[in-house]
Chain A
Amino acid sequence: MKARPVAGILLRQFYLIRGSPVRALPMFAWVAIDIVVWGFITRYLNSMSDGRFNYVPSLLGAVLLWDFFTRIMQGVSTAFLEDVWSKNFLNLFATPLTTPQYITGLVITSIGTSAVGLAVMLVLASSVFGLSFFSLGVMLIPFLLVLFSFGIALGILASALVLRLGPASEWLIWPMPALLSPFVGVFYPLSTLPQWMQAVARVLPPSYVFQGMRTLLAGQTLPPGDLLFGAALAALDIVLASYFFTRVFRYALRTGLLARYSAESVS
């Protein structure tokens, strides 16, 4: 894969973020607010439990991991939406840029923007609320990797949906993480869910992360197969989402949707 077209996508996003506080601020503002709100909630819950249970790692840690996943997903889809908002498809896709180069550019953009959010969350959660990720040990890395991979997959899927359904469909993609959150057990064990929701949870990689996190915090041993299965699912989701994006792109080429994108449909 040629690197320069990918660098072009990155440079464009860099220019946009550098020149616009309204783009830079959301990279860390909302996650910081989330950490502050949940930090105080955990303090309150800790005071109510008289020290019998420490809510900081289980609740605040879960919020941090979930926000990281959300930022990854939104990092990809927001970078894509920049081309929707500026009506840039014709200029962009009439170039030698390939679909894998474009998606790679979106993914690297998301890594950069969500890394800022992650750093802010880690500093705030540890310095202000005493969250120590050492309690999770080295398992924090695979947890983040699984969430990162699934966030990428969901971001690509969301971009494909906007490409297929038109600019107005962006409202569909913002609540996607919120729609998934009840199923993946961010704050509660999967056993709390009814059977049908547990079945859905089993095909969602974040379920394995949050279940694993609670297992570790309870001092139990994490079955290694569970997280590996979650990682494999996330990798598969990236492949499927990329395939879906490519199919939608070809559909857009065949039907003329790409050339008449503002019409939102070709019928």
Chain B
Amino acid sequence: MHAPPDHHRAPEFRAESAPSGPDVVLSVAELYKRYGEIAAVDRISFQVRRREVVGLLGPNGAGKTTTINMILGVLSPTTGRIHIAGIDLQRHRAAALAQANFSAVYAALPGNLTVEQNLRFFGLVYSVAGLGERVETLLENFDLLRLRNTKCGLLSSGEQTRVALAKAVLNRPRLLLLDEPTASLDPSAAQTIRTRIRELAVDGDCGILWTSHNMYEVEAVCDRVLFLSRGKILLEGDPRRLPAQHGAATLEELFIRLAREPLGDPVQGVP
């Protein structure tokens, strides 16, 4: 995987007030989304740096997908700012989204197009340079050569995940959002995908925001995790150290305790 050339980074869109540092690929500041009287996401702030895999954890309804949808530009925040690779998403939507891509289990690629057709279609939409060559490389890298002429709707879950990941890296994104990328995969396929995603972060020079309910997977892949509950970030840190720091035996135990704590009640060891 190659680092994106500088001309892809659209420096002209860097706002003066944008969170600085070439390493910051995602900056979320005071992000707030309200539906009626309910705050789905309640003034959260965090950053993702390049070559970093950040896990966004939390129980169902915690606000993870709402957060991801806002970063993807398909949901407007009530207030707050999002910068992707230093580009303000609200002000320069197209330029910011050109620096990102995503894969989510609930957003399958059109099943009536073949694997290759989907990659070519999205490659043009993302204005990928040297598209033909890029598609061939991805078909090979994601073990999709024999499936290139198969319609995506006919693929197994594991194959669909590989195609979705190939699409997600088409434009060599600086920010990759993965919403439960290994859900519905068997353990062996999930491990293969995890290894591949980890390589993307290291070799691909991008930052990854990852959601998962599999705490084993999170410990194996993520450099840092954010625990989200009822729209707020309750905890942040290294997934391998957090359990011990907060008196839990495992990350899963800590997750369960945090998920069940009424908001405002301090978890042991959490200030």
Interface residues of A (CB under 8 A from B): 2, 4-5, 7-9, 11-12, 15-16, 19-20, 86-98, 250, 253-254, 256, 258-259, 266
What 10 A-B pairs are tightest by C-beta distance, nearest first? A8-B124, A94-B72, A8-B125, A86-B110, A96-B94, A96-B98, A90-B107, A4-B127, A259-B69, A12-B121
Q: Point out the residue from A12, A95, A96, A253 that lies within 8 Å of B75, measured CB to CB.
A: A253
Nearest chain A CB to B111's CB is how many angstroms away?
7
Task: Please state if A258 and B108 are interface contacts (CB–CB under 8 Å).
Answer: no
Task: Please state if A8 and B107 are interface contacts (CB–CB under 8 Å).
Answer: no
Q: B270 an interface residue at 8 Å Cβ cutoff?
A: no
Task: Please state if B74 and A12 are interface contacts (CB–CB under 8 Å).
Answer: no
Q: Point out the residue from A9, A11, A94, A96 that lies within 8 Å of B120, measured CB to CB.
A: A11
Nearest chain B CB to A141's CB is how many angstroms away?
32
Task: Please state if B110 and A256 are interface contacts (CB–CB under 8 Å).
Answer: no
Q: Point out the residue from B65, B75, B97, B126 that lies within 8 Å of A258, measured CB to CB.
A: B75
A-facing mask of B77-112, CB < 8 A → 1, else 0? Answer: 000000000000000011101101010101111111
Q: Provided the pairs A15-B113, A15-B117, A86-B112 are in contact, do residues A5 and B124 lie with their beta carbons within 8 angstroms?
A: yes
Q: Point out the residue from B66, B74, B98, B113 that lies within 8 Å of A93, measured CB to CB.
A: B74
Task: Please state if A90 and B117 are interface contacts (CB–CB under 8 Å).
Answer: no
Chain A residue numbers with a CB within 8 Å of B112 are 16, 19-20, 86
Task: Please state if A16 and B113 are interface contacts (CB–CB under 8 Å).
Answer: yes
Task: Please state if B121 and A15 are interface contacts (CB–CB under 8 Å).
Answer: yes
Chain A residue numbers with a CB within 8 Å of B126 are 5, 95-96
| Complex CA distance for A98 and B94, rounded to whole angstroms | 7
Q: Point out the residue from B35, B72, B100, B111 that lies within 8 Å of A86, measured CB to CB.
A: B111
| Complex CA distance for A97 and B65, rounded to whole angstroms | 21
Chain A residue numbers with a CB within 8 Å of B114 are 15
| Complex CA distance for A253 and B111, rounded to whole angstroms | 25
Nearest chain A CB to B41's CB is how many angstroms away?
11
Task: Please state if A11 and B127 are interface contacts (CB–CB under 8 Å).
Answer: no
Q: Point out the residue from A92, A250, A254, A258 that lies within 8 Å of B125, measured CB to CB.
A: A92
Beyond the given pairs A8-B124, A91-B122, 7 more chain A to chain B contacts, judged by CB atoms under 8 angstroms and listed by A's residue number, are A5-B124, A9-B125, A90-B104, A94-B73, A94-B102, A96-B127, A253-B76
Interface residues on B, range: 35 or more
27 A-B pairs within 8 Å (CB atoms) are namely A2-B127, A5-B124, A5-B126, A8-B122, A8-B124, A9-B125, A11-B120, A12-B110, A12-B113, A12-B117, A16-B113, A19-B112, A86-B112, A87-B108, A91-B167, A92-B125, A94-B73, A94-B97, A95-B126, A96-B95, A96-B97, A98-B93, A253-B73, A256-B35, A256-B69, A259-B74, A259-B75
Chain A residue numbers with a CB within 8 Å of B35 are 256, 266
Task: Please state if B74 and A258 are interface contacts (CB–CB under 8 Å).
Answer: yes
Within 125-178 of B, Cβ neighbours of A (below 8 Å) are at: 125-127, 167
Chain B residue numbers with a CB within 8 Å of A88 are 109-110
| Complex CA distance for A169 and B8, rounded to whole angstroms | 40
Chain B residue numbers with a CB within 8 Å of A95 are 97, 122, 125-126
Chain B residue numbers with a CB within 8 Å of A12 are 110, 113, 117, 121
| Complex CA distance for A93 and B69, rounded to whole angstroms | 11
Chain A residue numbers with a CB within 8 Å of B75 are 253, 256, 258-259
Chain B residue numbers with a CB within 8 Å of A20 are 112
| Complex CA distance for A96 and B98, rounded to whole angstroms | 5
Chain A residue numbers with a CB within 8 Å of B65 are 259
Task: Please state if B76 and A254 are interface contacts (CB–CB under 8 Å).
Answer: yes
Q: Count chain B CB atoms within 10 A of each CB in A12, A92, A250, A266 and give the residue with the most.
A: A12
| Complex CA distance for A96 and B72, rounded to whole angstroms | 10
Nearest chain B CB to A259's CB is how many angstroms away?
4
| Complex CA distance for A90 and B65, rounded to whole angstroms | 12
Q: Provided the pairs A90-B107, A91-B109 are in contact, do residues A97 and B125 lie with their beta carbons within 8 angstroms?
A: yes
| Complex CA distance for A8 and B113, rounded to whole angstroms | 13
Chain B residue numbers with a CB within 8 Å of A98 are 93-94
Chain B residue numbers with a CB within 8 Å of A89 are 74
Chain A residue numbers with a CB within 8 Å of B124 are 4-5, 7-8, 11
Task: Please state if A5 and B76 are interface contacts (CB–CB under 8 Å).
Answer: no
| Complex CA distance for A214 and B126, rounded to whole angstroms | 49
